[in-house]
Amino acid sequence: MREVVVDTETTGLDPASGHRIVEIGAIELFNHVATGRFFHCYLDPQRDVPAEAFAVHGLSAAFLNGKPLFADVADAMLQFFGDSPLVIHNAAFDLGFLNKELERISGGAIARERCVDTLELARRKFPGAPANLDALCRRYQIDISDRSVHGALKDAKLLARVYLELRGGREPGLAFVPTQTRRLTGIDASAWIPKLVPPTAAECEAHHKFIDSINDALWKRIEDTADQALA
């Protein structure tokens, strides 16, 4: 299954008040694992970058001046997204900015229903615990020592690793937790149910011949007891 992890950096918190996207980062996942394909760009917001935003991501107005406009990269971004589910931490925030930018160029909005919100997953899995990206990285012992400032592509890569852990880690099929717990964490339990494959008549006959060939009365007694229990 293909998914795309998405993160943005912005000039502020509210797109309705004129704040804009300054960076977009997205990476491709297949079965929850990064494939190495990614989309990344810096954008000219055509406005100032407040000090509060600069402190978060370190992208100045001078650096962003002359970078592509959102309209210049929208088609490439949407092509990379395709029709895959979008994995976003606090989807309401990033989706609000993306849809506002798409609205400015008369583009169609991205539906909330196609987003997997890792913030919601984390809050269901760890109720009452901090659920921001830094806290989740620390919980899962993901190294963020080189993350002095936020970056859309860097954070998308970290989020992909967090998302894998939220989904059960690299071997989710070996996570023997109750079905109800899986349901509460949003993990699809249907793929975890083992399939029981009964032996064929030929396999049963071969097994009986093997047991009869063993000159050990204990083996025979065990086999006879099992046959009686199944009768």
How many Å apart are CA 201 and CA 151, to the nearest integer?
Answer: 61
> How far is residue 68's CA from residue 139's CA, in Å, rounded to a whole number?
37
CA distances 59 to 6, 22, 23, 92, 150, Å, are: 18, 8, 9, 23, 10
- 150 classed as catalytic: yes
Say which amino acid occupies 223.
E
Q: List the catalytic residue out of 40, 57, 150, 207.
A: 150
Give the whole-angstrom CA distance, residue 30 versus residue 35: 7
Beta strands in 17-175 (DSSP E): 21-30, 33-42, 86-88, 115-117
3-state secondary structure at position 22 = strand
**What span, in angstroms and rounded, lies between the C-alpha atoms of 104 and 40?**
20
- Which residues does the annotation mark as catalytic? 150
